[in-house]
Amino acid sequence: MTVTPVAVNGLTKFFYDESRGEVRAVDGIDFSCRPGEIFGLLGANGAGKTTTLRMLATILTPTSGAASIMGFDVSRRPEDVRRHLGFYSSTTALYPRLTGRETLDFFARINGYPPARIPDRVEALVDRFGFRDYAGVRVDKLSQGMKQKVSIARTVAHDPPVLIFDEPTVGLDVLNALDMQKVIGELRNEGKTVIFSTHIMSEAERLCDRIAIIHHGRIHACDTLDRLRASTGKHYLEDIFVHVVERAGERAWP
Amino acid sequence: MAVRGPLVAALFRTELRMMLRDRRTILLSIVLPLAVLPIMLFASHAMNERRERRLEETVYEFAVTGPRGAGARDLLDRVRRHAEDTTGGDTPFRFREVEAADPAQALENSQVHFYLDARSAAEVKDMLERDDAAERPAARPPDVLVLTTVFRADRDDSESGASRMRRALADTRRAERGVILRQAGFPLAIADVAAVDAANLASEGQVAGLTLGRLLTPLLLLFLLSGSAVVAIDSLAGEKERGTLETLLTTAVSRAEIVAAKHLLILTVAVVITVIQVANLLVYVGFELIPTTTNFAAAVTPLTAILLLLLYLPVAGLVASVLLLVSGHARSYKEAQLYFFPVFLMGMLPGLAAMLPGLPLRSAIVVVPVANISVAVKELLIGRPDWLFFALAWVATAAAAGWTARLATRALSTERLIAPVAAEAAELLGGPALFPRHVVRWFAILWAVTLIVSLNLETRVDLRVQTLVNLVGLFLGGSILMIRRYRLDVRQTLALRPVKPAVWLAVMVGVPAGMLTGIGVFRLANIILPVPPEVIEAFSRFLLPESVPMWQLLPLLTILPGICEEIAFRGLLLHGLHRRLHPAAVALAVGLTFGLFHVSLFRILPTAYLGMLFASVVLLTGSIFPAMAWHGLHNGLSLLASQSGWQLSSLEPRTYALAAAALAACFWIIWRNRTPYPGLRPWRRSRPA
């Protein structure tokens, strides 16, 4: 029997904000991801994307509902979840005083990659992401583009079957953003399950096999781009997004 | 989930590697203390020597004044001769009289080091009586010469010269007294009249052990805290700031493993730095750069050194845990630095337990972490080890270290600390959204103003003015100011909501019950911190002055506090805190703040207790009205009791117990009819992963 890489059922996260009181950041969402697909979470800032992904990465605890990564429940088996997961976001930084090679060795080791195979894995990643010339240089001496390569290599160092990329292109220039998209496409082709969150329509259009539109903590549409086009009668993702969000607003305030 | 050794080792090795590559940490933690200590010691040693030499070589200049100047000069000649006789002409104290028309002015202008005022005892007595001096010397024969050395203690050379002169005068006088007695036929020298001797049964090691035992723990704590602080702050707070903590939290290691590795790192650094510092110190003691009369080597045998290391191990562990906890609770490096200073001061306190005279380890101190080790170390060094209590002390401190490390682990699972959500929302929204963030500072300012007003007005104006200033001016005025400044909704902020009728019945029961239990709380507090009866009497006289008629007292002490204090504390303060803290903590915080505003120390606890009752009522009913009524009626009943002479503070304990039961019944009614304050935080805690 094949395990569903990512399964989310009624996942909810409320938090208490001093100024706003109870905030429903994620409000009972459901979705699942298949092996070898890029699942896009598309939403405006504050829609609940990052909170959802942080719950999947076990940084935040769900208020209710359930989610699992490779069959491991995020609340009950957090270490197992994280062992099968690579998490990348613009806020996950690298240790500045380690070299690129040391970084990969360290993250492979603490994520449970077999110790005997770590040196080979590190060298393979150094070659794959093309930073052999500066693999021995401390991270704080690297340029933004080089850091990005080390950071992606760090995410996949332990060869996890599921990868989360939370707004990975935020703050990158056009070329680095394109590089990032290329790498994500390659990882999908290798059979990895990728959850990719963004608020940039063109990225989602180009990369995602399926797209979930999230607004005010709820998923209002979830399908392939073609089916979303058919159901909304709009061609461009931007128009589809606006259409879905407006309809969600109408439902919330009849 | 169990902590996995290989993962902790991998984390520890990487942390250590990164720390060794951090020049700032190495510089601040190791190089700087190592360099600063010798520089400080050399400088202080050199300066002391120079100062001593200068004072030794100085020829002290002085003036003589007073009606018996001739007698004084005669005596000074004898002093000079006596000094020459006893030191073979090479007197270390050299002095020279100079002319000064106004010796006091000359001293002020540094033209003389001191001056001698020479008078007869009768003249001195007259002078003191004229000046109405509080202290008078013992009666002397009226014709006796009294020499007063007048100097300035804020000048080294003046104080030293005057002191040397007094010593020289006393020596000469003693010698002359001896000569006179011998001439009169007294058979003995004065020193031989009754010889006093002493015999010390403690060994040299035990004497040194006592000194070392008192000093060692505070010194070690100083090294441990200061040495490892930089690493500790960097390890969690620094990682949060750099964004690497989130990366680490998404890996397969557990929170406990992260804390274990970081704890191990801080412990390693603390121990290494302490060993280096102690070795550093020993080198300076060995080279006599630190002058000491105690032979510390006699107190520390190799076995004692091993036992000391064992005893101090849980202390180092606790220090590392506490610093990690501080670092875990800070959101940034800067915030952690702010927390560090009070932690440093508090952390040093238990180490001073060994300095308390007559405190044995076989007492309640054995359960106080660090303080117990401090006393145990002293007992070990004076050669009186109590092995059973050593073990108990070790276990108590180690348990505290483990518990604190657990709290640090929990901090890594506290979402508001590791992933603040919409942290800046309030700053952007401003107005009412910003109020919860600012409410504490508003009340801190209000408290400071209340304190200043109370201290200044208490003696100048009567009760009526002071009450109006406090209640109307500060509490009501301050509340209106906050409402306007943050554009707060008055109905919501002040909880102006109706309640179920049964609540009013509960309030009627609660008023006398709350008053009696409040007095019970005061009596309990009085056992621990006794209040002198005269303080309470003075306070009663101030609060219930006979000059103020009852018709004025009644609204001043019942209606006004019921409105103004409730608006400020159960209105504004409670509203500001209700989303920040859990409901019980809100009641506690509001009550304690209310207590602190009742400036007198003995009133803090009872008023804090009442404040908590009122806050609980508001939280349960969602309305300020029952609290206002309770407060006003409570004050009215207290006034009535006072005027009628009821002795409520000396009732049987069972009366207070009955009152407590009535209070419980009152809260049971309120609970059954509760309409909770809107928007309270639920009792929920995230699980450590």
What integer pLDDT is reported at residue B90 of this predicted model?
Answer: 55
Beta-carbon separation of A17 and B18 below 8 A: no
Q: How many domains does chain B have?
A: 3
Residues of A in contact with B436 (CB under 8 A): 18-19
Q: Do B436 and B388 share a structural domain? A: no
Task: Give the separation between CA B503 and CA B629, rounded to whole angstroms.
Answer: 11
Q: Are residues B517 and B569 in the same domain?
A: yes
B118 plus B225 within the same structural domain:
no
d(CA B530, CA A227): 80
CA distances from B651 to A235, B81, B520, B564 (A): 85, 78, 9, 32
A vs B, Cβ pairs < 8 A, gives 115
Identify the closest residue of chain B to A58 by CA–CA distance: B250
Give Dmax (Cα) for chain A: 61
B230 and B340 share one domain: yes
Residue B159's pLDDT is 92
Q: Which residue of A has its CA nearest to B680?
A: A21
pLDDT for position B45 = 77
With CB atoms and an 8 Å threshold, state whether A18 touches B436.
yes
CB contact under 8 A, A107 and B422: no
Which residues in A lie closer than 8 A to residue B679 (C-beta atoms)? 21-22
Interface contact A21, partner B, CB < 8 A: yes
A105: closest CA of chain B, how far (Å)? 10
CB of A161 within 8 Å of any CB in chain B?
Answer: no
Q: How far is A238 from chain B (nearest CA, A)?
A: 26
List the structure tokens of A63. 């208020």
Question: Is position B261 within any domain?
Answer: yes
pLDDT per residue as tens, chain A (254 positions): 578 899 999 999 987 666 666 778 899 999 999 999 999 999 888 889 999 999 999 988 898 999 999 999 999 999 999 999 999 987 788 999 999 999 999 999 999 999 999 999 999 999 988 889 999 999 999 988 888 889 999 999 999 999 999 988 887 788 888 888 888 999 999 999 999 998 888 888 888 999 999 998 999 999 999 999 999 888 888 899 999 988 877 655 43
Clarify whether residues B666 and B598 are in a common domain.
yes
CB contact under 8 A, A60 and B415: yes
Residue B423: the pLDDT is 45
Say yes or no: B518 and B499 in one domain.
yes
Q: Which fold has domain A1-84+162-254?
A: Rossmann fold (3.40.50)
Do B582 and B662 share a domain, yes or no? yes
Question: For B504-518, what is each residue's pLDDT tens digit?
Answer: 999 999 999 999 998
Say if the Cβ atoms of B580 and A21 lie within 8 Å. no
Nearest-neighbour CA in chain B from A194: distance (Å)? 16
Instruction: Please state, in angstroms and rounded to a whole number, the distance separating the CA atoms of residues A16 and B425.
Output: 12
* pLDDT per position as a tens digit, B158-172: 999 999 999 999 988
Classify B236 as helix, strand or coil.
helix
- List CB contacts (< 8 A) between B422 and chain A: 17, 20, 23, 46
CB-CB under 8 Å, A20 with B425: yes
Q: Mark out chain B residues that contact chain A at CB-CB < 8 A.
A: 1, 7, 10-11, 14, 17-18, 21-22, 242-244, 246-247, 249-254, 413, 415, 418-419, 421-422, 425-426, 429, 432-434, 436-437, 579-580, 679, 681, 686-687, 689
Query: CATH number of the domain that B121 lies in?
Result: 3.40.190
Same domain for B496 and B641:
yes
Phi, psi of B422 (to 5 degrees): 50, 45
ipTM: 0.91
- Whether B627 and B536 map to the same domain: the answer is yes
What is the C-alpha separation between B609 and B600, in angstroms, rounded? 15
Question: Is A16 close to B579, i.e. CB distance below 8 A?
Answer: yes
d(CA B467, CA B458): 10
pLDDT at position A107 is 95
Give yes or no: residues B495 and B622 share one domain.
yes
The answer, for A250 touching chain B at a CB cutoff of 8 Å, is: no
Beta carbons of B421 and A17 less than 8 Å apart: yes
Nearest 5°: the CA angle B606, B611, B616 is 130
Q: Is there a contact between B421 and A23 if contact means CB atoms under 8 Å apart?
A: yes
Domain range enclosing B99: 53-189
The CA–CA distances, whole Å, from B559 to B336, B370, B556 equal 45, 51, 6
Q: Is B194 part of any domain?
A: no
Residue B132 has a pLDDT of 58
- A20 contacts chain B (CB < 8 A): yes
Indicate the residue of B252, B426, B580 with minimum beta-carbon distance to A112.
B252
For an interface test with B, the pick among A54, A110, A113, A138 (most B C-beta atoms closer than 10 Å) comes out as A110
Phi, psi for A31 (deg, rounded to 5): -170, 165
A170 touches chain B (CB under 8 A): no
Q: What share of chain B is helix, strand, coil (3-state, %, to 5)?
A: 70, 5, 25
Please report, for chain A, the start and end positions of each structural domain, with discontinuous segments joined by +. 1-84+162-254, 91-159
Question: Cβ–Cβ of A112/B419 closer than 8 Å?
Answer: no
DSSP B296: G
Predicted local distance difference test score (pLDDT) of residue B688: 38
Q: How far is B257 from chain A (nearest CA, A)?
A: 10
**Are residues B10 and B85 part of one domain?**
no
Q: Within an 8 Å CB–CB cutoff, is residue A14 touching chain B? A: no
For residue B630, the Cα-to-chain-centroid distance in whole angstroms is: 37
> Residues in chain B with pLDDT < 50?
421-428, 686-689
pLDDT (0 to 100) of residue B502 = 93
Buried b (16+ CB within 10 A) or exposed e, B330-365: beebebbeebbeebbeebeebbebbeeeeeebeeeb
pTM over 0.80: no
Q: Is residue B688 part of a domain?
A: no
Contact state of A79 with B1 under an 8 Å Cβ cutoff: yes
- Same domain assignment for residues B231 and B337: yes
